[in-house]
Structure 1
Amino acid sequence: MHHPSTASGRSSLIAHTGWAYWPIAFVARLPFAMMTVGVLMLVVHATDSVGFGGLTSAAVGIGVVIAGPIMGDLVDRHGQRRVLVPVGLANGILLALFPLVATAEAPPGVILAAALAIGLTGPQAAAMSRSRLLAIVAARIAPQRRTKTTSRLMSYESAADETAFVIGPFLVGILAALIAPWAPIAVAAALSFGFVLAFALHPTARLLQSRADTAAERAAFRAVLTPSMLVLVAATFGVGMFFGAALTSLTAFARAAGDEAQAGLLYGLMGIGSAVLALGVVLLPARFALRHRWLAFAGVLTAASVGYATSSSLGVVAGWLLVMGLGVGPTLVTLFSLAGERAPLGRSATTMTLLSSALTLAQALAAAATGWIAEEVSLGVAMVVPALAAAIVLSLGVVNVAIARRGRAAPARPAADVAVDEAWRHDGTDERARAR
């Protein structure tokens, strides 16, 4: 990041985004990270039913998944600004109204419909940020620096996701405890109005606007639904399952140990290790291929999850949570890096929203299912669910290697080549051969 070359060739993304972009893009993720847990806590408090709370939380996740690919497609066609401004406003309004719906003894169907609407308008800032920054790398960063810059970018974005996924539920718990159960949803609404709109209107969105308007070629939506892409979506779903199951089983464990308040702090331990190692992935040598990283880090995650499942004290749990963090952060970076490489031409927003949607849906469903298991079956079984999720991620890593071997006969073009193509197309020239 220290190359004193021309502005257009500098490897520093900050030169092209400005400093303000990064905190805005980070805080814009928080409503998304807060809404599933916030809805769960508010509905449980209002209805005194953990089961219905889990169902409502799952409705938010289902809404996110239905809307995710549609939103990604609209963004790839019309640019982020035209999509995110109305979505951010709608989400803020729906979040602001939800505490009134939940506490007014509304029929269950109305509460579920309101939760679904919150999910449908969920502003996918994380996916949009990845897509936006990948476009800037393609258009503005010198070709020889693109691979390194993309690697750093994916590490940062995954670390930011990890941090948001930890801070979101943590904020929900603190605000609910200090103020009232409706407070987290009210804060999420305020953040949606403020930061999601600021993110949508940031000057970096203009580049994508012009690219969306002029994109003559764009891969068909079905190009995203290839085995090599779907294995990434499935694995990201597995990581989401892990997040939801870990948070819920940990809360149940802490409650059984008589210290429920510690669950958020313990979950934070996993988040710290996870975010630090997600950022550290850029230091790994290039010859340590992404498909092998997936196997290695998912292996660490699975082993630590088995340790966690067999823990009997909060101290032992804390130790295993730290190790789990060391596995989950780099796994998530690897999955999103592979998605960045494999995204079809003009489909980066669609690809990133598919992965983000899978992560969110799985988190909501796993939280609901694990909560039910902890209450109705046993705490011990609930503690096993994160290990099951980790094993799924690891086995999909093996499937990914098999798909990659089968595809060697007709290998996909590397991301750098696609980025060069897009950059030359954006410049209105056709000198791809020279660029390669």
Structure 2
Amino acid sequence: MTPQPSPAATNNTLEAGPATAAPVGRFARLPQLAGRSFLPLGLFARLPLAMLTVGTLTLVTSVSSSYAIGGTAAGAVGIGSALGAPMLGALADRRGQRPVLLVAAVLNTLAVVSLIVAATTMGEAGGFPVFVLATAFLAGASCPQVGPLARVRWMALASRGVPADNNRDLDTALSYESTADEVTFVLGPALVGILASLLAPWLPLALAAAMTITLVPAFASHPTHRSVPISRRSAGSGSAAQEPAAKKLPPAVILPVVAMVCMGTFFGSTQAALSAFSAGFGGSELAGLLYAAMGLSSAAAALSVAYWPRRFSLPLRWMVSAFAMAALAVLLLLPTSLGAMVAVLLVLGLPVGPVMVTVFSVGGMVAPARRLGTVMTALASGIVAGTALGSSIGGQLAQTSGYAAAFIVPVAAALALALLGAAAAVGLRPKDPGATDAPRTAA
């Protein structure tokens, strides 16, 4: 196996491990661990992913004058991302993040440019958009998984010899990452709407491609990539009997992956129900603004996890926060005005961020050390797949029975999350810090 470099190999990181933390604020530790440039790079390099689905929907709908075709193209992006992300994560585990991200950046840029050309051509010539759907799928499948792979780097930087449930630096880093996700998934669609409405419907995708080809290579080449161990076994090192342990994922990984499917179902069904709800108050486009309210409180709450007490273990955090989500989601059935719905969504977002942070932390706890990229991207894919599922179920219920029926879906999804958290509380425990490749669970 490729040996993990010393901390000195990564520029702008601490010489010592997390146990020798300097007396500074929690979030001030992050630039010390990874370098000052890593945070803005990791934030803006993931923005194209947040723009891709909505940008595709906007462009294809605009040129085809068909919501059905636009929605199908956006769905192709989501399916491509859900299938492609774990493959990119597995490749990053075996070959290293840098080469995989560099190749993905080039392929994704070409795919997005092809999507723009295909959509524009379809608008001029008409006909069934087979090539549009194909390029949309490829754009989703090749999208660089900056967020999940950034989490892998934080885990490598912050967790040298420290278990995941006793590491404040890791809590802080994952809190920041969940907030970064929330910010980009609020900012991305807003940026698409502004550029498409004021300038041209193809411009958001063109900007996403430009950001991918410039920012993703910079993220890929950042010195933090050297901190991540590679699962490929060096010739002549170790025994053949040791290799399957690094390749095989433990069954416990299923828990956080299914949890992220439930989380995505919660998101997708909430969006669909909010579209039906806001249609009675001037237009379904208000749903994006309503949903942003939950995103803002979720982002703020995610940051707070860095300050939660150590005795509040990961499985307990998961279970308590998810039960709070389920209880608060019931309030979605009550509002009869936009103001009341905004208030409910602001409160509902408070447990959402902590659940996201905690499930990603549990994913890192149960994953073999050299398969973190695979697991983190699988968690991200679970959100994508769940969002598509939730949007479909919620949309069907909203169409046939009204928005109140659609709001039952996020309640059920949050309850399922809580039950999975209870299972995690019973079956999971942190890995022994002395092990490196063994699964981090006794379940």
- For Structure 1 versus Structure 2, the TM-score category normalised by the shorter chain is 0.7 to 0.9
> CA offset at residue 206 of structure 1?
2.9
Secondary structure in 1 aligned to 2:368? coil
Distance, in Å, in 1 between the alignment partners of 2:311 and 2:407 is 36
- Once the two structures are superposed, what CA deviation does each residue of 1:345-382 show, in whole Å capped at 9, x if it has no partner? 31111111110111122223433543454445533333
2:162, 2:245 → 1: CA distance? 28
CA 1:403–1:144 in structure 2 vs 1: closer, same or farther (change >3 Å)? closer
Which residue of 126, 133, 149 corresponds with 2:154? 133
- Shift of residue 209, structure 1, vs aligned partner: 7.0
Query: How far apart, CA to CA, are the structure 2 residues paired with 1:375 and 1:197?
Result: 44
Q: Does 1:7 align with 2:15?
A: yes
Contact 1:55–1:368, Cα closer than 8 Å, also in 2: no
- Post-superposition Cα deviations, 1:130-162, rounded to whole Å, max 9, x if no partner, equal 1112122245x8899972211211111122122
1:258 is matched with: 282
The 3-state SS of whatever aligns with 2:406 is: helix
Name the structure 2 match of 1:107.
Answer: 128
Question: Pairwise CA RMSD of aligned residues?
Answer: 2.8
Over residues 81-135 of structure 1, what are the superposed CA-to-partner deviations in whole Å (9 max), with x where a residue is unaligned? 1100010111112112212212322523322211111111011101110111212
Are the equivalent residues in 2 in contact too, given 1:163–1:275 (CA < 8 A)?
yes
Task: Note the C-alpha offset of 1:70.
Answer: 1.7
Asked if 1:364 corresponds to 2:385, the answer is: no
Deviation, 1:309, is 3.0
Cα contact 2:44–2:215 (8 A) shared by 1: yes
Is 1:332 the equivalent of 2:356? yes
Which of 241, 257, 261 aligns to 1:233? It is: 257
Aligned to 1:230, what secondary structure does the other structure show?
A: helix
CA distance in 2, matches of 1:225, 1:284: 28
Q: Which residue of 2 aligns with 1:291?
A: 315
Q: Report the 3-state secondary structure (helix = DSSP H, G, I; strand = E; otherwise coil) of the residue aligned with 1:346.
A: helix
Give the equivalent residue in structure 1 for 2:3: none
> Bigger shift: 116-125 or 64-73?
64-73
Q: Helix, strand or coil: the match of 1:185? A: helix
Change (3 A) 1:211 1:306: same
2:101 aligned partner, one-letter code: L
1:413 alignment counterpart: 431
Determine if the alignment matches structure 1 residue 351 to structure 2 residue 351.
no
User: 2:243 & 2:312 partners in 1: Cα distance?
Assistant: 32
How far the C-alpha of 1:259 sits from its partner, in A, is 4.6
The number of residue pairs the alignment matches comes to 407
* 1:28 aligned residue: 45
Distance 1:96 1:48, change over 3 A: same
Greater relative contact order (Cα < 8 A, sep 6+): 1
Distance 1:144 1:194, change over 3 A: closer
3-state SS of 1:122 partner:
coil
Q: In structure 2, which of residues 325, 332, 336 is the aligned counterpart of residue 308 of structure 1?
A: 332
Please tell me whether the aligned partners of residues 165 and 313 of structure 2 are also in contact (alpha carbons under 8 angstroms). no
In 2, distance between residues paired with 1:142 and 1:331? 22
Q: Deviations over 1:292-320 (max 9, x none)?
A: 21121112211222211332211111011
Match of 2:168 in 1: 148
**Shift, 1:41, TM fit:** 2.7
**Does the 8 Å CA contact 1:54/1:371 hold for their aligned counterparts?**
no
Instruction: Provide the rounded CA distance (Å) in 2 between the counterparts of 1:60 and 1:153.
Output: 29
More deviation in 210-219 or 294-303? 210-219
CA distance in 1, matches of 2:318, 2:105: 34
TM-score by length of structure 1 reads: 0.85
Task: Please give the alpha-carbon distance, in whole angstroms, between the structure 2 residues aligned to 1:143 and 1:245.
Answer: 35
Give the structure 2 partner of residue 433 of structure 1: none
Q: Structure 2 length as normaliser, TM-score?
A: 0.83
| Counterpart-to-counterpart distance in 2, 1:180 and 1:361 | 30
Q: 1:395 Cα deviation (Å)?
A: 2.5
Partner of 1:407: none
> Aligned letter for 1:120?
A
Counterpart residue number, 2:206: 186
- From 393, 415, 425, give the equivalent of 1:401: 425
Partner of 1:160: 180
User: 1:341: which partner in 2?
Assistant: 365
Cα 1:144–1:164 change in 2 (3 A) is closer
* Residue 243 in structure 1 maps to residue 267 in structure 2: yes
Q: Percent identity between the aligned chains?
A: 37
- 2:6 aligns with none
Q: Which structure features the higher share of helix residues?
A: 1
Change (3 A) 1:172 1:345: same
Q: Are the aligned partners of 1:370 and 1:382 in contact in 2 as well (CA < 8 Å)?
A: yes
Counterpart of 2:226 in structure 1 is: 206
Q: CA deviation at 1:46?
A: 3.0
In structure 2, distance between residues paired with 1:144 and 1:108: 47
Deviation readout 1:38-86 (Å, 9 max, x if unpaired): 2223333333333443332222222122222221111111111110001
Distance 1:354 1:13 in 2: 25
Q: Is the 8 A contact 1:7 1:15 kept in 2?
A: no
Q: Which residue of 1 aligns with 2:343?
A: 319
2: CA distance, partners of 1:142 / 1:388: 36
1:332 offset after TM fit, Å?
A: 0.4
State which drifts further: 384-393 or 125-134: 384-393
In 1, the alpha carbon distance for the partners of 2:397 and 2:65 equals 18
* 2:147 partner amino acid: A
Q: Which amino acid aligns with 1:344?
A: P
Q: 1:223 aligns with which of 226, 240, 248?
A: 248
Matched, 1:118 2:139: yes
5+ long unaligned stretches in structure 1: 405-410, 423-436
Counterpart secondary structure, 2:310? coil
